[in-house]
């Protein structure tokens, strides 16, 4: 048998075990000095021998004794089998440890040869050979697998030592007898020799078992170590995954917070050596001694350096974590922004950027729930902030500066309370507030520690600042003492005054001019501002003075600091002319600073007033007649100017071109038609145009009544620029969301309604939104039926009419036209065509064509991609149609499927999901699952009503109206009344009193009052409802029926049963006169009238109330006119079942008596949701 040559080196563990085996043999297994092994001397008895030589010797011995010794042959065969199995391992041992292994393998070869000759010894020697040859390779494998185990190495070394002992003792016999065969025969047959060999073999067997146990134990140890390493590895992987998750989610959350987060102001610089007094102030020390439980309130007069001290304290605070927020004119981002939300969003963003542990996971639920932090209730933001701050294991500082610049006093009240609670509840919190002194702040935070920035505290800092300024400006050195003395006497604790004095003196060219300027420099900021305006105004011509005044009017009213280019555009705008670039400022930044220095500053390309006191100065009433160079403005006049600027910008022809409007409509209504990628020529919305889109109505309603302004508003509302504005506004807030447009309309309605009649602006708002779109549709190319532009425009118009119009037939015809046009131009399976078909089906639902709507929606859903938002939305509409047909279990199940699909497809913050959830709530309420319905209403209202800070949001109003209804049905009259009153006020303001959605809320409030025992309140609401009811228009008669039933119920409660019966009888007669079937309110009126008649003993007349509702089934027998008395009783019970939403029992009852409904539509739920449902 050949063996491959090995190129490996002997393992360290093997060499170690052989060396240790020799030591064990020398010290423990022999006492004969002649057997002790020193170096290589013990190997001289055996020649070096390879594995192949051992195998050849074994074969020869087997063949020689094959005939007469079959048992020996068996032993040799076993030996050869073992050697073949472990040949590679043994060969490696022989090649790389020749001196040691020669003891074993050379001895084995000699013993095999001898055993073949000395047959008497063959049995015992053969057994030993097989044992040793078979086990040595296994020991080596165990050793290599568990070389790190000391116990395994020790056991293997002892095994090797016993093998050495066996080999040495066998080999030594030859030298002692002169003939190996004779000696072996004598030795083995002797009792002592046999016993020693048996003892060695027994020890080998015992140690082999010990080795098995040790390797098993070592394996368990290795497995435990590997398991521990795997756990550590998994933990490290999880940590890395969590870090990746946190990094990605932190960015998402910061983007979520961005809309409300105030733009960080550049940190104010302080003069080295100033501001340090704050740490030694008695108020500060008192605060620290009190463990900073209550806020530290630092206050001072205007210009005293409060912002500078805030910057100094934030950058030198004794805590590692410092979170700051500054209320400033630049911090207000938009009209919908809430200062309280802005503050919490800024603090949360800083906490996230500081990598506070757990902050990401705490915030994630809010991001999943609300589309933006501006829609999240402030209470939830405060709760998350508190939880995140509580995870900081050390002291931290929250510093809020310029509290007095917050415009919303109500929100500031809540903010101060929350900040005070943070200081009390969190042991590590240090809350510092900086502002002017305000009595209301002291009342809100009675326990705050006061630290006034008085003249005494600031005088040395002001002197030091002035000295350093003089040192930096050598031209002032000659007047050093006079300047310092002036600052000490006139500064009155105002850093700003001192700074402006230095700037004023630096402009003087000569020493005489400097001394004169110093003498004339007045005390007090207002006087200083007047001086600057007067002196700089003398250098301006009349046009420049006008520009300066316009710039200041922009800055005192702007909702956010305008860009430099915006101001340059604003001063060049003319109401009746396109913008002429020749009228714009040539060098806008330089020109603005020249006109308004030093009262304005430019930061990040935005212009803002230098200080809040400048705004107060500009809006103040002058004490005496002022020169023409002075600037004083009234807030109303400034808003009027800004309103004109915004309307002038919106009316610019460049923004309402056909190409612009087409692009906007295509992108908003049907993005599938947009080029991909969009054309590079499409510019972003310019800064001033974007500002005008967002805020024009804010400035209009803040202006005084003015005929010219009203005329300009009317022109804008009725011309094509309105379309450009509306579509741009949609793009600025995507999602086909009408809320911004409705908000502008509501603001204008208020402006018109809240002013006395003589000063009321003559605005034409009856055709708001519809007039410009209809005018466009009447002109080319909008009027062309072969272009998609017409249908995109119709779609947008119909979206508005669906909410604001009182003409359902017009909505129906428009939706049908859109569907036909899309089908003809794009095909029946195009995404826009399918959306149009779903919209037409929804319009059919609005017209009570629920069955045909179900059929159309079933066709649409087949062509929409599975698991797509459009498919789930169509499912929601289909379930809505089923709900109206009282197929409540199936409708609820399909609604739930649609809501689940939309939740996964677009997320919980999507309006599509919220709308589907609202429809589900309707179905749950109709089925009597009031708790689940209330929960669903609550979710939608919390996201799109209470948290949105836009009460004009239709979805939020619908959810709140449903919440009021279901709370009433649960008997929670107080909460129902509160919600009902709120949503009624919003709908009256947005839609007017005659809109059906407003009337529905009024009727529900009347029902609520009646059920709560307030009959006078019910009558008052009924009177209000009747003023908005039109029995001949759309669903008006259905609501008239409800109002009549309610009034009859009030009469019964007053004991006027006869009048109530007459009133209900008249209602039934009115329904018959109208023809075309009835409605569910008429069915309930039949039940109520029958009950009244039966109570008066007029049973026959009571049954007659149910005439004309059913027909005989085909083949059902007699076809005589009218029903029998028994059949009418069945009909009455069937109507009662339907009122309880048990439609199956009603049908079964009629069928068993050979009857069927004439018009199933009569008992279907009317469009508009469960508006009252008494």
Best CA proximity match to 498, nearest among 304, 239, 242, 629: 304
Rounded Cα distance between 522 and 503, Å, is: 14
For helices 107-117 and 180-189, what crossing angle results, to 10°? 80
Rounded Cα distance between 162 and 197, Å, is: 10
Residue 1112: what are its φ and ψ, rounded to 5°?
-75, 140
Are the C-beta atoms of residues 197 and 168 closer than 8 Å to each other?
Answer: no
Work out whether strand 1110-1112 and strand 1155-1157 pair parallel, antiparallel, or are unpaired: antiparallel
pLDDT, tens only, 117-136? 454 444 565 566 666 766 77
Joined tokens for residue 256: 């979520």
For helices 954-969 and 930-941, what crossing angle results, to 10°? 150
pLDDT, tens only, 1063-1082? 999 999 988 887 766 888 89
SS3 content of the chain, % helix, strand, coil (to 5): 70, 5, 30
Residue 849 DSSP one-character state: -
Question: Could you give the percent of the chain with pLDDT greater than 70?
Answer: 80
pTM, full prediction: 0.69
The per-residue pLDDT for 975 is 92
Rounded Cα distance between 660 and 648, Å, is: 18
Strand pairing partners for 432? 296, 399
pLDDT, tens only, 819-848? 999 999 999 999 999 999 999 998 888 888
Joined tokens for residue 49: 């021998």
Joined tokens for residue 408: 């919303």
Is the pLDDT at 115 greater than 70? The verdict is no
Lowest mean pLDDT among 67-71, 216-220, 784-788: 67-71
Residue 782: what are its φ and ψ, rounded to 5°?
-65, -25
Rounded Cα distance between 65 and 60, Å, is: 9
Q: What is the DSSP code string of 1104-1129?
A: HTTTTSEEEPTT-S---SS--HHHHH
9: alpha, beta or left, given left = phi > 0 and alpha = psi -120 to 50? beta
Summary mean pLDDT of the chain: 82
Strand pairing partners for 299? 435, 452
Q: What is the dihedral of CA 413, 418, 421, 425, to 10 degrees?
A: 180
Burial bucket for residue 1040 (CB in 10 Å: 0-12, 13-18, 19+): buried
Work out the number of other CB atoms within 10 angstroms of the CB of residue 711: 14
Are the C-beta atoms of residues 416 and 444 closer than 8 Å to each other?
Answer: yes
pLDDT, tens only, 572-629? 988 777 888 888 888 999 999 999 988 999 988 899 998 888 999 999 887 666 677 7
Per-residue pLDDT band for 686 (boundaries 50, 70, 90) equals: confident
Per-residue pLDDT band for 41 (boundaries 50, 70, 90) equals: very low
Cα 7 to chain centroid, rounded = 64
Rounded Cα distance between 95 and 108, Å, is: 16
Are the C-beta atoms of residues 342 and 374 closer than 8 Å to each other?
Answer: no
Question: Could you give the percent of the chain with pLDDT greater than 90?
Answer: 36
pLDDT, tens only, 145-162? 777 788 888 888 888 787
Work out whether strand 606-609 and strand 321-326 pair parallel, antiparallel, or are unpaired: unpaired
Are the C-beta atoms of residues 920 and 883 closer than 8 Å to each other?
Answer: no
Rounded Cα distance between 656 and 146, Å, is: 83
Joined tokens for residue 340: 């309280």
Residue 609 DSSP one-character state: E
Are the C-beta atoms of residues 777 and 790 closer than 8 Å to each other?
Answer: yes
Q: What radius of gyration do the chain's Cα atoms show?
A: 48
Q: Using alpha carbons only, what angle is made at residue 404 by residues 398 and 407, rounded to the nearest 5 degrees?
A: 110
Rounded Cα distance between 742 and 744, Å, is: 5
Are the C-beta atoms of residues 924 and 947 closer than 8 Å to each other?
Answer: no
Work out the number of other CB atoms within 10 angstroms of the CB of residue 1095: 12
Rounded Cα distance between 203 and 700, Å, is: 107
The per-residue pLDDT for 681 is 43
Are the C-beta atoms of residues 743 and 698 closer than 8 Å to each other?
Answer: no
Rounded Cα distance between 1010 and 812, Å, is: 36
Residue 281 DSSP one-character state: -
Residue 296 DSSP one-character state: E
Higher pLDDT, 698 or 168: 698
Residue 953 DSSP one-character state: -
Rounded Cα distance between 666 and 300, Å, is: 55
Largest CA distance in the chain: 147
Rounded Cα distance between 1112 and 424, Å, is: 77
For helices 788-804 and 658-669, what crossing angle results, to 10°? 60
pLDDT, tens only, 713-756? 999 999 999 999 999 988 886 555 677 888 888 888 888 877 76
Cα 153 to chain centroid, rounded = 61
If you count them, how many residues does the chain have? 1174
Q: What is the DSSP code string of 209-240?
A: HHHHHHHHHHHHHHHHHHHHHHHHHHHHHHHH
Rounded Cα distance between 675 and 1162, Å, is: 49
Are the C-beta atoms of residues 478 and 327 closer than 8 Å to each other?
Answer: no
């Amino acid at each position: 048998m050949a063996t491959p040559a090995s190129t490996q080196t002997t393992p360290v563990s093997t060499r170690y075990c052989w060396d240790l085996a020799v030591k064990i043999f020398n010290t423990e297994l022999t006492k004969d000095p002649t057997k002790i092994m020193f170096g290589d001397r013990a190997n001289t008895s055996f020649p070096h021998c390879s594995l192949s030589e051992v195998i050849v010797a074994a074969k020869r011995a087997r063949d020689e004794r094959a005939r007469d010794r079959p048992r020996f042959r068996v032993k040799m065969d076993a030996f050869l089998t073992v050697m073949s199995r472990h040949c590679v391992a043994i060969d490696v041992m022989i090649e790389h440890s020749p001196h040691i292994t020669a003891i074993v393998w050379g001895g084995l070869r000699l013993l095999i040869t001898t055993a073949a000759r000395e047959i008497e010894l063959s049995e015992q020697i053969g057994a030993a050979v097989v044992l040793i040859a078979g086990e040595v390779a296994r020991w080596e494998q165990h050793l290599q697998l568990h070389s790190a185990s000391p116990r395994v190495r020790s056991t293997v070394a002892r095994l090797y030592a016993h093998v050495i002992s066996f080999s040495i003792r066998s080999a030594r016999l030859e030298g002692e007898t002169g003939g190996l065969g004779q000696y072996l025969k004598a030795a083995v047959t002797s009792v002592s020799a046999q016993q020693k060999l048996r003892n060695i073999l027994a020890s080998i067997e015992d140690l082999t078992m010990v080795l098995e146990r040790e390797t098993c134990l070592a394996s368990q140890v290795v497995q435990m170590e590997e398991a521990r390493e795997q756990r550590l590895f998994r933990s490290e992987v999880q940590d890395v995954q969590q870090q990746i998750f946190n990094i990605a989610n932190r960015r998402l959350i910061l983007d979520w917070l961005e809309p409300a987060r105030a733009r960080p102001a550049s940190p104010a610089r302080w003069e080295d050596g100033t501001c340090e007094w704050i740490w030694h102030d008695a108020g500060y020390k008192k605060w620290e001694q009190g463990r900073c439980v209550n806020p530290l309130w630092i206050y001072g007069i205007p210009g005293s350096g409060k912002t500078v001290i805030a910057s100094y304290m934030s950058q030198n605070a004794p805590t590692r974590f410092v979170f700051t927020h500054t209320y400033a004119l630049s911090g207000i981002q938009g009209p919908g922004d809430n200062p309280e939300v802005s503050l919490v969003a800024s603090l949360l963003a800083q906490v996230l950027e500081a990598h506070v542990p757990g902050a990401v996971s705490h915030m994630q639920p809010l991001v999943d729930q609300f589309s933006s932090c501006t829609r999240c209730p402030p209470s939830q933001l405060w709760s998350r902030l508190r939880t995140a701050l509580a995870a900081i294991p050390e002291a931290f500082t929250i510093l809020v500066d310029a509290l007095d610049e917050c415009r919303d006093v109500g929100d500031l009240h809540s903010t101060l309370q929350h900040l005070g609670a943070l200081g009390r509840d969190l042991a590590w919190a240090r809350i510092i507030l900086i502002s002017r002194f305000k009595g209301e702040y002291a009342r809100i935070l009675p326990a705050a520690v006061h630290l006034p920035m008085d003249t005494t505290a600031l005088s040395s800092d002001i002197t030091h600042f002035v000295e350093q300024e003089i040192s930096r400006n050598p031209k002032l050195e000659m007047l050093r003492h006079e300047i310092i003395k002036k600052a000490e006497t006139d500064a009155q604790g105002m850093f700003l005054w001192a700074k402006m004095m230095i700037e004023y003196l630096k402009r003087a060219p000569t020493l005489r001019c400097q001394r004169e300027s110093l003498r004339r420099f007045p005390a007090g900021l207002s006087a200083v501002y007047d001086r600057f305006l007067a002196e700089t105004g003398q250098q301006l011509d009349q046009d420049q003075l006008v520009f300066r005044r316009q710039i200041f009017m922009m800055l005192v009213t702007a909702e956010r600091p305008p860009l430099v280019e915006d101001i340059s555009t604003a001063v060049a705008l003319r109401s009746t002319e396109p913008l002429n670039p020749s009228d714009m400022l040539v060098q806008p930044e330089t020109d603005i600073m020249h006109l308004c220095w030093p009262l304005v500053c430019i930061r990040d390309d935005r212009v803002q007033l230098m200080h809040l006191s400048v705004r107060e100065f500009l809006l103040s009433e002058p004490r005496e007649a002022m020169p023409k160079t002075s600037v004083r403005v009234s807030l109303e006049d400034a808003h009027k100017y800004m309103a004109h600027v915004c309307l002038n910008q919106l009316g610019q022809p460049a923004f309402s071109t056909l190409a612009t409007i087409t692009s906007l409509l295509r992108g908003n209504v049907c993005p599938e038609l947009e080029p991909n990628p969009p054309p590079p020529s499409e510019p972003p919305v310019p800064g001033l145009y974007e500002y005008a889109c967002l805020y024009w109505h804010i400035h209009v309603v803040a202006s005084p009544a003015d005929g010219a302004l009203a005329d300009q508003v009317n022109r804008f509302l009725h011309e094509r620029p309105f379309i450009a504005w509306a579509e741009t506004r949609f793009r600025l807030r995507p999602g086909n969301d009408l809320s911004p447009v409705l908000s502008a309309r509501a603001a204008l309605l208020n402006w018109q309604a809240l002013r006395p009649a003589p000063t009321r602006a003559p605005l034409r708002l009856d055709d708001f939104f519809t007039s410009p779109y209809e005018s466009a549709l009447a002109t080319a190319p909008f009027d062309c039926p072969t272009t998609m532009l017409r249908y995109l425009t119709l779609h947008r118009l119909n979206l508005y009419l669906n909410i604001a119009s009182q003409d359902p037939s017009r909505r129906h015809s428009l939706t049908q036209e859109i569907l036909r046009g899309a089908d003809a131009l794009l095909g029946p399976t195009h995404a826009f065509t399918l959306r149009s078909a779903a919209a037409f089906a929804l319009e059919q639902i609005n017209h009570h064509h629920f069955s045909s709507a179900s059929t159309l929606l079933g066709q649409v859903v087949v062509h929409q991609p599975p698991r797509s938002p459009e498919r789930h939305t169509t499912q929601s509409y289909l379930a809505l149609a089923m709900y109206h047909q009282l197929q409540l279990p199936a409708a609820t199940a399909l609604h739930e499927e649609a809501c689940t699909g939309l939740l996964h497809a677009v997320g919980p913050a999507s309006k599509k999901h919220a709308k589907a959830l609202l429809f589900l709530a309707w179905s749950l309420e109709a089925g009597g699952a009031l708790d689940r319905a209330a929960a669903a209403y609550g979710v939608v209202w919390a996201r799109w009503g209470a948290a949105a800070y836009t009460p004009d949001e239709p979805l939020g109003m619908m959810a709140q109206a449903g919440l009021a209804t279901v709370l009433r049905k649960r008997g929670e009259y107080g909460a129902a009344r509160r919600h009902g009153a709120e949503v009624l006020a919003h709908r009256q303001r947005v839609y007017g009193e005659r809109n059906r959605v407003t009337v529905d809320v009024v009727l529900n409030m009347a029902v609520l009052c009646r059920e709560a025992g307030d009959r006078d309140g019910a009558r008052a609401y009924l009177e209000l409802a009747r003023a908005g009811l039109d029995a001949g228009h759309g669903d008006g008669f259905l609501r008239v029926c409800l109002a009549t039933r309610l009034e009859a119920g009030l009469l019964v409660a007053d004991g006027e049963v006869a009048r109530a019966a007459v009133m209900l009888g008249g209602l039934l007669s009115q329904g018959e006169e109208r023809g075309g079937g009835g409605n569910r309110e008429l069915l309930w009126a039949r039940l109520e009238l029958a009950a009244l008649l039966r109570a008066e003993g007029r049973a026959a007349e009571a049954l007659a109330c149910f005439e004309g509702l059913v027909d005989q089934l085909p083949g059902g027998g007699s076809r005589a006119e009218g029903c029998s008395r028994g059949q009418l009783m069945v009909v009455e019970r069937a109507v009662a079942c339907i009122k309880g939403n048990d439609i199956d029992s009603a049908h079964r009852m009629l069928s068993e008596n050979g009857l069927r409904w004439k018009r199933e539509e009569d008992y279907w739920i009317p469009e508009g949701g469960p508006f009252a449902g008494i």
